[in-house]
Amino acid sequence: MKFNLPPKGARKDYFKKVFFGSNEKRGVVMSIVVYVLLITIAFIYLYPVLYMFSRSLMSSKDLLDSSAKWIPSSITGQNYRDAIATLDYWNSLWKNVQIAVIPTILQVFVCSMVGYGFARYKFPGKTLWMGILILSFLLPSQTIDMPNYLLFQNLKMMDGSLKPFIFLAAVGQGFKSTLCILIFFNFHRQVPQSLIEAAEIDGADHFKAYFQIAIPLSMAAIVCVTLFSLVWYWNETYLVRTYLGYGHTRAKGLTTLMIELQKFEDSYNVTFDARASSVTSTNKLNDAIKMAGTMLSIAPLLLLYLVLQKQFVESVDRAGITGE
């Protein structure tokens, strides 16, 4: 095999370009560095998930066997069956979906309109209101939790329903709504104003221009904010406990998988004490069952990311670009 090398006088520049790259193309050294960094970061993030999944499939004997740290000698599904019973999984999942999806839909709609208003219109005090918006983003959320709690008590919304979450999302004060508004504000600034003006010349009013022009062009931002909001509401435990209360039972009140996971050990003991006569396996809680419960809790979000990963990456990229 013959390699077409440049003349001796140009070989130094040639090898420099191959190994260190140029303005048009990345060199071998830089490519190796980038791939090593990406593989390292991916391993750091994937290691806990892979470890949990591997442990969740192990039997009690494998947990005591130091040689079966990653690969179980025999795969068992009993851990997941026990975890599903302990979490009351399908009932808790449905309630978690309600808590996450309903406020998210309202938050995306309201934050999109607010961000569009800041990006599209000029009005007195706009700079002041934008400063207040950024200031509210910097304030710790704990500083407003207690006033909100007292407000909902006075409004008689503390009845274990979603009213507090719906109210906050509807007025643009949902979970991290300020960040969502800033994302939409930054994205709507990219929309050429000529499109909006052309629609208005054709007879479209402000709302028609928003729904027919701005919304279709901002789908990337909508996907980005929707996924972020879903994850935030899905993993939230403090506000759920604060607004929905501690006194509701699992059967009657709303709950989330993360809250059920926090009391996993107590729920496990209660569940298997209640049906001890019908269980043939050992009822002792171990790490494998805990890992199975954790995997079940994060499984819906992992599935969501796997399905929408392409749209999510594109939306984050496009929503972060400044426009006109």
Instruction: For 268-299, give the DSSP string.
Output: HHHHHHHTGGG--S-----HHHHHHHHHHHHH
For residue 303, give its domain range.
Answer: 81-319
**What is the chain's alpha carbon radius of gyration, rounded to the nearest angstrom?**
27
Asked if 175 contacts 232 with a C-beta cutoff of 8 angstroms, the reply is: yes
**Residue 74 forms part of a structural domain:** no
- The pLDDT confidence band at residue 108, using thresholds 50, 70 and 90, is very high
Q: How far is residue 187's CA from residue 181's CA, in Å, rounded to a whole number? A: 10
Domain-ending residue, one of 21, 41, 56: 56
Residues 32 and 96 both lie in one domain: no
- CA–centroid distance for 317 within its chain: 16
Residues 261 and 206 both lie in one domain: yes
Residues 135 and 231 both lie in one domain: yes
Kindly state the DSSP code that residue 71 receives in the 8-state scheme: S
To 10 degrees, what angle do helices 89-120 and 163-170 make? 20
CATH of the domain at 204: 1.10.3720.10
**Residue 167 forms part of a structural domain:** yes
Residues 20 and 153 both lie in one domain: no
Which tens digit of pLDDT belongs to each residue from 30-89?
A: 778 778 888 888 888 888 888 888 888 888 887 777 776 777 777 888 889 988 988 889
Q: How far is residue 158's CA from residue 138's CA, in Å, rounded to a whole number? A: 27
Q: How far is residue 157's CA from residue 242's CA, in Å, rounded to a whole number? A: 12
Q: How far is residue 220's CA from residue 15's CA, in Å, rounded to a whole number? A: 42
Q: What pLDDT is stored for residue 250 in this prediction? A: 47
**Residue 3 forms part of a structural domain:** no
What integer best gives the mean pLDDT of the chain? 79
Residues 38 and 123 both lie in one domain: no
Residues 112 and 20 both lie in one domain: no
Residues 27 and 99 both lie in one domain: no
Phi-psi group of 285: left, alpha or beta (phi > 0 → left; psi -120 to 50 → alpha; rest → beta): beta
CA dihedral of 102, 105, 107, 108, whole degrees rounded to 10: 170
Q: What pLDDT is stored for residue 178 in this prediction? A: 87
- CA–centroid distance for 223 within its chain: 11
**Residue 62 forms part of a structural domain:** no
* Cβ neighbours of residue 252 closer than 8 Å, sequence gap 6 or more: 160
Q: What pLDDT is stored for residue 27 in this prediction? A: 65
Residues 23 and 143 both lie in one domain: no
**Residue 76 forms part of a structural domain:** no
Q: How far apart are the first and last CA of the chain?
A: 54
Residues 102 and 135 both lie in one domain: yes
Residues 116 and 214 both lie in one domain: yes
Residues 103 and 50 both lie in one domain: no
Which tens digit of pLDDT belongs to each residue from 215-241?
A: 888 888 888 888 888 988 898 888 888
**Taking 80 as the threshold, does the pLDDT of residue 275 lie above it?**
no
Asked if 285 contacts 273 with a C-beta cutoff of 8 angstroms, the reply is: no
**Residue 61 forms part of a structural domain:** no
Which tens digit of pLDDT belongs to each residue from 281-317?
A: 455 788 888 889 999 998 888 888 888 777 666 665 6
**Number of separate domains in the chain:** 2
Q: How far is residue 43's CA from residue 48's CA, in Å, rounded to a whole number? A: 9
Query: What phi, psi does 140 have (nearest 5°)?
Result: -65, 140
**Residue 324 forms part of a structural domain:** no
Which tens digit of pLDDT belongs to each residue from 155-204?
A: 888 877 888 888 888 888 888 888 888 888 888 887 777 777 777 777 77
Q: How far is residue 33's CA from residue 38's CA, in Å, rounded to a whole number? A: 9
Asked if 81 contacts 309 with a C-beta cutoff of 8 angstroms, the reply is: no
Query: What phi, psi does 264 have (nearest 5°)?
Result: -60, -45
Could you tell me the two tokens for 139? Answer: 């304030």
Asked if 288 contacts 58 with a C-beta cutoff of 8 angstroms, the reply is: yes
**Residue 67 forms part of a structural domain:** no
The model's pTM is: 0.76
Residues 169 and 310 both lie in one domain: yes
